[in-house]
Structure 1
């Protein structure tokens, strides 16, 4: 039986409220009072767990990064074909979106627009970028790519484009109805197949 949300620990409720509101409405547009109301906690309770809004934002991004990384780990554990493992980033986003909701695009890309360079949440934006680049490059090496850096950069370009298009679709109803992630994955699959088949030095 699922526990009553009100019986969950205060820190858990605060993070759940922050995740919903920061992602749904934006970090700058969401005040601490809105998070407190959604979580059902007092200011004193929040400050017992977080030093302020900046610390809460950083904790939200840390939790989001952990959830995203675990989802990608799970998808990779199910795949053995080298080319499919390269494309796993799109499958992982699709799974993450189905579990967590990702209709407004990437939470990290959205946060990157809002947070100043000195914000403590920048640590997790950097961790997300590093995870994407490092893992895609590693998968490209495992797949036998002759230029793994180019493969990682190209797949990341398609990935970022799909998530940005997803965010635009949420606010622009007359855009084409096809799923940007599906479209990006198809393009990536075609490109990966051609790239892995190309003779070395071509």
Structure 2
């Protein structure tokens, strides 16, 4: 992999390179040297911006969380129907993929399996979980679902399952049978319809 031309600030190049490599290969399997080479910066430059690899991992997840939240915000801003808004989680995933080109599953789920409990990136894993559970519950209340906690938990289960399936299909393409995120949305919509909540009505 060739290094990136120094046309952008070093911190931005480091985050871009780290994001690509951590997502493609995993956090533990990605060494600092690989990030430096791809970003085209020196070790001294990296340490001027981040407190080592752990700090870079935390910044990577922070940036990803902010991009994901903004994408979901954009999708919600386009919707009026409350049930469609509750299902917007899945539409936001597809929008995020279109913008970022990521189809290997959830970076936060992957990071959660790699990072120890005291890692400085843990607050961003927690922020991702809190955003999902709190927002889904809020949207379920607005949609008039009888048990908002159950609805949030069910949709989150569909979401996690879809992203885990995406990761599996990435490594074993012959298992692919349609888009897991679309199928998860359909399942969530059917679950809501069985309780009298139909999108667009």
**Deviations 1:132-164 (CA, angstroms, capped at 9, x unpaired):** 000000000000111000000000000000000
Partners of 2:5 and 2:40 within 8 A in 1: no
| Cα drift, residue 195 of structure 1 | 1.9
**Deviations 1:14-54 (CA, angstroms, capped at 9, x unpaired):** 00000100001100000000000000000000000001000
Partners of 1:76 and 1:85 within 8 A in 2: yes
Partners of 2:79 and 2:85 within 8 A in 1: yes
Residue 13 (str. 1) matches residue 13 (str. 2): yes
SS in 1 for 2:117: coil
The TM-score with structure 2 as length reference comes to: 0.94
Partners of 2:82 and 2:139 within 8 A in 1: yes
Q: Which moved more, 1:95-104 or 1:65-74?
A: 95-104
Per the alignment, residue 152 of structure 1 pairs with 152
Q: d(CA) in 2 for partners of 1:196 and 1:28? A: 46
Per the alignment, residue 49 of structure 2 pairs with 49
Q: d(CA) in 1 for partners of 2:139 and 2:70? A: 17
Q: d(CA) in 2 for partners of 1:88 and 1:159? A: 11
Structure 1, unmatched stretches of 5+, are none
Q: d(CA) in 1 for partners of 2:129 and 2:52? A: 25
Per the alignment, residue 83 of structure 2 pairs with 83
| Cα drift, residue 194 of structure 1 | 2.0
The TM-score with structure 1 as length reference comes to: 0.94
**Deviations 1:149-197 (CA, angstroms, capped at 9, x unpaired):** 0000000000000000000000112213311011111111111122244
Partners of 2:108 and 2:128 within 8 A in 1: yes
| Cα drift, residue 5 of structure 1 | 4.9
- Say what the alpha-carbon RMSD is for the aligned residues: 1.3
Matches within 5 A, 1:102-113: 102-113=102-113
Per the alignment, residue 27 of structure 1 pairs with 27
Q: d(CA) in 2 for partners of 1:12 and 1:153? A: 36
Matches within 5 A, 1:47-196: 47-196=47-196
SS in 1 for 2:175: coil
Q: d(CA) in 2 for partners of 1:48 and 1:176? A: 44
**Deviations 1:109-146 (CA, angstroms, capped at 9, x unpaired):** 00001000100111100000000000000000000111
